Structures are given as structure tokens and as C-alpha cells.
């Protein structure tokens, strides 16, 4: 198992031009030397460029899988939860889109996540679907990994968490991936509407990458099974 290394932030394109921003980050994975290239942005131009790159990757991908996740506003009585951050992952490229801080809507993003060509994969999608709808977004092919894999030995009626699944399917490296956020959940999740710090970028990146990696592994295994 790889030794965790602190993620590195690169300042390229971080110019805050007219409220728009784009920052580039590198986040380590469980495999030494296999880091994730992360674009964090609210800029529709950077967003479209990242999506175009992902579409090019997907054109060569036999499974057409996209890691997908959203963060949303804290639930309050009388207020529906809405999408604040949306994350996409293809291969080792991750896009963290600050939807709440976007200066204008991006039709390319809306059509991409609702495309019938791709399978968007996540863990525990119930609230995701609700918040997408409230936010005026649709995700036609949203796959809940909890419906496709159960950790051996876990309670029959218990749904496995993202950390449980990722550590079982990918690597134990991911067992503690949410420890930092679990220390004080209210404080951790209260800041999604603000510019993200490095730890929150890393958190969203790991969420999305593990969902992508897990579902590809599940599909690969199904293809390889010999049926009686």
C-alpha cells in the first residue's frame, strides 16, 4: 500500500477574473506514482475544456463509465437541498465544478451528466437524485454502487459506506478517507458554498475517483466470470 503524501496545489490560471477561477491540483492515489490530475473551477470555459477531454477519453472506453458525485446545501426545514459542488472523474482526470459559484449556466455540463451514452457511478444516490432535480439538473444513468456490491461479512440489512466499499474493492488505503470530515460534520459540510481549501478538494476528488474505480472493477469482474 502506498504511503499517503500531502496533495499539491498548482496556482496556474488562478486569476479570479470577474469572479471566475480555475485551480489545478495533484492528489495521490493508493498506487505510488499514479496521481490524479484535478481541475477545480467555476469558469464555464475551463469546465467545457475539461468535459471535452473526458469525452475524448470516453470515446476510447469500452465501458463508458464516469465517476460522479455532488455536494449540496445543509438540509433545513422548509428549504430543499441544492447542488453546490459537482464532481466528475474519467481515468485519472477529475473535474470539481463549483456549481454554486458559477457565473453563468453551462449547457455542456447539463447535457454531459444527462447523456444516455455514459454510466455515472456513485455511492448512495438517493439524496443526489433529489438535489439534482431541485437544482434543475438530470442524470439519466446514475448507478448506485451499493446496488451492485456488498462487503463480505457486513450485516445483511446494512448498506456499505463509500469508505467500506472503496477499502474492500480497491485498497485499504481508502478506509480512512473520510476521517477528517467525520470529526465535525457540521463544520466540514458548512463550507461547500465557499471557495474550497485543499483538504476539501482532496475529499471531493477521492469521492469521485473511488466511485469511478470501483464500478469499472465490478464491470471487469462480471465480464471475466465463467458461468456454469
Domain of 72: which CATH number? 3.30.420.10
- Beta-carbon count within 10 A of 214 CB: 25
Look at residue 2 and tell me if it is in a domain. Answer: no
- Beta-carbon count within 10 A of 171 CB: 16
pLDDT at 97: 98
Please give the model's pTM, rounded to 2 decimal places. Answer: 0.89
Q: How many separate domains does the chain show?
A: 1
At 25-41, the pLDDT tens digits run 999 999 998 999 999 99
At 174-193, the pLDDT tens digits run 988 877 676 777 788 788 98
Look at residue 210 and tell me if it is in a domain. Answer: yes
The parent domain of residue 113 ranges over 8-224
Look at residue 32 and tell me if it is in a domain. Answer: yes
pLDDT at 119: 97
- Beta-carbon count within 10 A of 74 CB: 13
Look at residue 134 and tell me if it is in a domain. Answer: yes
Q: Which helix (H) or strand (E) holds 13?
A: none
Look at residue 3 and tell me if it is in a domain. Answer: no
Cβ atoms of residues 25 and 198 within 8 Å: yes
Look at residue 207 and tell me if it is in a domain. Answer: yes
Look at residue 200 and tell me if it is in a domain. Answer: yes
Nearest to 39 by CA among 57, 21, 56, 55: 21
For cell 478517507, the residue is: 177
Amino acid at each position: 500500500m502506498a504511503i499517503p503524501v500531502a496533495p499539491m496545489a498548482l496556482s496556474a490560471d488562478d486569476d479570479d477574473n470577474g469572479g471566475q477561477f480555475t485551480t489545478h491540483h495533484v492528489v495521490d492515489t493508493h498506487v505510488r506514482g499514479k496521481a490524479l490530475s484535478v481541475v477545480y473551477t467555476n469558469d464555464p470555459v475551463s469546465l467545457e475544456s475539461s468535459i471535452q477531454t473526458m469525452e475524448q477519453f470516453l470515446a476510447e472506453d469500452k465501458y463508458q463509465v464516469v465517476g460522479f458525485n455532488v455536494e449540496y446545501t445543509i438540509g433545513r426545514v422548509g428549504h430543499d437541498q441544492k447542488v453546490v459542488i459537482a464532481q466528475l472523474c474519467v481515468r485519472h482526470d477529475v473535474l470539481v465544478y463549483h456549481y454554486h459559484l458559477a457565473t453563468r449556466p453551462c449547457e455542456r455540463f447539463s447535457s454531459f451528466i444527462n447523456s444516455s451514452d455514459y454510466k455515472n457511478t456513485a455511492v448512495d444516490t438517493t439524496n443526489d437524485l433529489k438535489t439534482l432535480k431541485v437544482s434543475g439538473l438530470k442524470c439519466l444513468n446514475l448507478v448506485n454502487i451499493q446496488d451492485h456490491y456488498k462487503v463480505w461479512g457486513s450485516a445483511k440489512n446494512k448498506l456499505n459506506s463509500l469508505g467500506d466499499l472503496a477499502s474492500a474493492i480497491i485498497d485499504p488505503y481508502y478506509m480512512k478517507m473520510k476521517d477528517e470530515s467525520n470529526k465535525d460534520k457540521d463544520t466540514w459540510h458548512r463550507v461547500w458554498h465557499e471557495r474550497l481549501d485543499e483538504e476539501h478538494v482532496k475529499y471531493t476528488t477521492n469521492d469521485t475517483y473511488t466511485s469511478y474505480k470501483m464500478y469499472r472493477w465490478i464491470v471487469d469482474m462480471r465480464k471475466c466470470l465463467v458461468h456454469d
